[in-house]
């Protein structure tokens, strides 16, 4: 049996979680999941400005902080912190934690090859619309294929203390150690499906230990010290989800099942680079306090193609807010919204979209829940999006004047005019896996 924990569900997750995981109990592997689709475009922009960046900058200081404990307790780390520049991330870790042996998994970054791939006839059709990508070529910001777990297992076979990847499937971070430790092969489909299920359950960090959970969340103990999830994985594919005994939070059938059905599409065909997993075959049962056992995984052959996450420039946006208090808070916010829209129309400004929300009334529930009493405070939030940056800039100058030229009692404008930001859109596509050769490199 091996213990695999996940200490980050996204870049920005609790900084203390991975530290507590390696210090508070037995562990064999620590995984850290930093990447989301939009994160890749942000990292690519950073790299364009500075070729030494393009990775999760929280990761190297973390490795420096826990390096001694990792070596002392024989804990190995697998993280996708490399973003679009895994080699630079590895060099930064080397500087702060020279005692750690580091391996890098590369090959997912397709941006340098995008024209070559177009020329070879790959159209990168949008998986949702069928539209080819070529028309958006000048706007592409990032293009990364989702690698699987076998390159991670190969990296672990080098004896690396830390394996750094770019874009890979989230569950691959923990599936890789199981493949390495148990010798699972590419045709061990049920075993791979079990590893995918386990990895998916822990990939969002504390979501499976009581965080962001609907299961009697008010009674989850000590959320200020919530424990992050640990897989106790067996060679036969069965596994237990748990947490360190002294940590807060809760592991239950409900917390595990909530995460299991998170972002999966068809539960009978959860697609990954290594296997297609059938989550409807799983049996989830409570073993005891904060211990849930999962068995029965079934898998079928992996997809012929890999998913590619592409981001592209889609104009600009700006979002501004004003807050109004009672009496008549909602009516004031409605009036302010109308005034702004009329002024924008008189200026002949056009946007791809303009959207208004009223926090305190219907912004979160979208009108599904009706307030029983008039709200005592309402925040008006207006956002615009469009290709014309000048029009977006002009919009940002229409919020603050309402402090004196609109309904009474406006507040919440201390940050001044809204900022104009680029809009980065997401484009999902498929590519033959033969076009995405992964490689492993030891960073000296």
Secondary structure (3-state) at 54 = coil
CATH number corresponding to 314-426: 3.30.70
Give the least confident one: 96-100, 177-181, 269-273, 374-378.
374-378
CA 323, CA 338: separation in Å to the nearest integer?
15
Question: Among residues of the chain, what percentage have pLDDT more than 70?
Answer: 99
Dihedral pair phi/psi, residue 228, rounded to 5°: -100, 160
pLDDT in tens, 336-365: 999 999 999 999 999 999 999 999 987 887
Rounded Cα distance between 285 and 253, Å, is 6
**Contact indicator for 226, 206 with CB cutoff of 8 Å:** yes
Identify the helix (H) or strand (E) that includes residue 358. strand 353-359
* Alpha-carbon distances, residue 433 vs 86, 150, 442 (angstroms): 20, 13, 24
Contacts of 377 (CB under 8 A, 6+ apart): 323, 324, 325, 326, 329, 360
Q: Please tell me the predicted confidence (pLDDT) of residue 326.
A: 94
Are 417 and 400 within 8 A, CB to CB?
Answer: yes
- Where is 25: in which H helix or E strand? none
**Which pairs count as long-range contacts for 127-133, CB under 8 Å and 24+ apart, including other chains?**
127/307, 127/428, 127/429, 127/430, 128/428, 133/310, 133/427, 133/429
> Please, are residues 114 and 123 in contact by the beta-carbon 8 Å criterion?
no
pLDDT for residue 215 is more than 80: no
User: Which residues sit opposite 430 in a β-bridge?
Assistant: 307
Mean pLDDT value across residues 80-91: 96
Q: Give the per-residue pLDDT at 261.
A: 94
What is the pLDDT, as a whole number, of residue 371?
67
> 265-303 as b/e, with b when 16 or more CB fall inside 10 Å?
eeeeebbbbbbbbbbebbebeeeeebebbbbbbbbeebb
Inter-residue contact 179 to 157 (CB < 8 Å): no
Contact criterion met (CB below 8 Å) for 148 and 272? yes
Dihedral, 204, 208, 214, 218 alpha carbons, nearest 10: -110
- Which pTM value belongs to this model? 0.93
Residues 6+ apart with CB under 8 A from 342: none
Query: How does pLDDT run across 95-139, given as a tens digit for each residue?
Result: 999 999 999 999 999 999 999 999 999 999 999 999 999 999 999
**262 conformational bin, left if phi > 0, alpha if psi -120 to 50, beta if neither:** beta
Q: Is 395:420 a contact under the CB 8 Å cutoff?
A: no
Lowest mean pLDDT among 40-54, 62-76, 201-215: 40-54
Domains of the chain: which residue ranges? 2-108+146-303, 314-426
216 confidence band (pLDDT: 50, 70, 90): confident
Convert the pLDDT of each residue in 248-267 to its tens digit.
999 999 999 999 999 999 99
| Residue 248 Cα to chain centre, angstroms | 23
Rounded distance, CA 323 to CA 382, Å? 12
What is residue 37's predicted lDDT score, i.e. its pLDDT?
80
Query: Residue 29 has what pLDDT?
Result: 98
Looking at the chain, the whole-number percentage of residues with pLDDT higher than 90 is 90
């Amino acid at each position: 049996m091996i213990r695999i924990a996940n200490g980050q569900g996204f870049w920005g997750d609790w900084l203390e979680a991975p530290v507590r995981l390696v210090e508070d109990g037995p562990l064999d592997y620590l995984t850290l999941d930093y990447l989301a689709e939009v994160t890749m475009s942000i990292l690519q922009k950073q790299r364009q400005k500075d070729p030494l960046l393009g990775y999760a900058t929280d990761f190297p200081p973390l490795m420096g902080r826990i390096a001694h404990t990792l070596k002392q307790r024989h804990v190995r780390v697998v993280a996708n912190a490399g973003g679009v520049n895994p080699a630079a991330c590895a060099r930064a870790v080397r500087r702060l934690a020279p005692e750690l042996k580091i391996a890098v998994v590369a090959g997912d970054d397709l941006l340098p090859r995008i024209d070559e791939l177009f020329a070879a006839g790959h159209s990168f059709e949008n998986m949702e619309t069928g539209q080819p990508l070529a028309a958006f070529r000048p706007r592409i910001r990032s293009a990364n294929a989702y690698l699987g777990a076998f390159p991670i297992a190969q990296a672990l076979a080098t004896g690396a203390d830390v394996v750094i990847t770019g874009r890979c499937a989230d569950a691959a971070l923990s599936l890789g150690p199981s493949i390495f430790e148990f010798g699972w092969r590419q045709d061990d489909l049920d075993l791979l499906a079990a590893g995918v299920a386990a990895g998916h359950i822990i990939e969002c960090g504390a979501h499976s230990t009581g965080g962001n959970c609907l299961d009697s969340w008010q009674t989850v103990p000590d959320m200020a010290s919530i424990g992050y999830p640990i897989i106790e994985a067996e060679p036969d594919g069965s596994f237990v989800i748990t947490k360190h005994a002294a940590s807060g939070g809760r592991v239950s059938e409900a917390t595990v099942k909530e995460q299991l059905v998170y972002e999966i599409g068809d539960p009978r065909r959860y697609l990954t680079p290594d296997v297609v997993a059938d989550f409807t075959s799983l049996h989830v049962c409570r073993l005891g306090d904060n211990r849930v056992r999962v068995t029965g995984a079934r898998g079928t052959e992996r997809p012929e193609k890999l998913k590619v996450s592409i981001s592209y420039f889609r104009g600009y946006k700006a979002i501004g807010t004003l807050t109004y208090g009672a009496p008549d808070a909602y009516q004031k916010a409605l009036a302010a919204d109308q005034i702004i829209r009329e002024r924008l129309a008189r200026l002949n400004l056009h946007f791809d979209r303009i959207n208004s929300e009223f926090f305190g009334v219907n912004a979160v529930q979208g009108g599904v829940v009706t307030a029983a009493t008039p709200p005592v405070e309402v925040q008006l939030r207006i956002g615009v999006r469009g290709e014309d940056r000048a029009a977006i800039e002009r919009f940002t100058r229409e919020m603050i004047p309402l402090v004196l030229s609109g309904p009474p009692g406006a507040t919440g404008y201390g940050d001044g005019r809204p900022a104009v930001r680029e809009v980065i859109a997401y484009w999902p596509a498929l590519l033959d896996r033969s076009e995405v050769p992964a490689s492993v490199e030891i960073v000296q």
